[in-house]
């Protein structure tokens, strides 16, 4: 099949396919006598795997590491599980940071409700933000 057919079947665009080839995520396909790329059915599955892996949050470099193992015939499940565990830990850390930021913003908003706007006389600073210096 040609590149457009492959891209349609996998739910990506042709530029994506070419990019994946340029970074060796997709192997270079055979060429027709006229020079067109000629993909086999395995290309659809590989492309879908890349797309689905990205949807889980894996980076292209991480996907490459999984595919390199698979290309050598190795089982990649342990490696993939390790990558996913790292992503889970990163998300947990981000959640913690966001919850902390939310608590600080709620406190700041609460303090702002008690401020008198007529007391805000500095032309370069807002007293709502300046009050932040006293509670962080």
Distance CA 88, CA 123 (A): 45
Distance CA 6, CA 40 (A): 9
Tell me: the pLDDT tens digits for 94-107? Answer: 999 999 999 999 98
Looking at residues 2-21, what average pLDDT do you find? 96
Give the CA distances from residue 41 to residues 27, 53, 59, 79, in Å, rounded to whole numbers and listed in that order.
13, 19, 24, 26
Distance CA 47, CA 40 (A): 12
Looking at residues 109-136, what average pLDDT do you find? 78
Q: Domain coordinates of the chain in residue numbers?
A: 3-134
* Pick among 1.10.3720.10, 3.40.720.10, 1.10.1660.10, 3.30.470.10: CATH of 3-134: 1.10.1660.10
- For residue 132, pLDDT over 90 is answered with no
Tell me: the pLDDT tens digits for 65-92? Answer: 999 999 999 999 999 999 999 999 999 9
Tell me: the pLDDT tens digits for 22-70? Answer: 999 999 999 999 999 999 999 999 999 999 999 999 999 999 999 999 9
For 2-73, list the strands marked E by DSSP.
Answer: 30-31, 37-38
């Amino acid at each position: 099949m040609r590149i457009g057919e492959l891209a349609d079947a996998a739910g990506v665009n042709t530029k994506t396919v070419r990019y994946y080839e340029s970074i060796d995520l997709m192997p270079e396909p055979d060429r027709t006598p006229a020079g067109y790329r000629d993909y086999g059915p395995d290309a659809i599955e590989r492309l879908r795997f890349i797309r689905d892996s990205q949807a889980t949050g894996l980076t292209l470099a991480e996907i490459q590491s999984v595919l390199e193992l698979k290309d050598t015939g190795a089982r990649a499940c342990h490696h993939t599980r390790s990558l996913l565990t790292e992503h889970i830990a990163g998300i947990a850390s981000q959640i913690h940071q966001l919850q902390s930021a939310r608590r600080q913003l709620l406190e700041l908003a609460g303090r702002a409700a008690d401020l008198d706007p007529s007391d805000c006389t500095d032309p370069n600073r807002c007293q709502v933000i300046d009050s932040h210096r006293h509670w962080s």
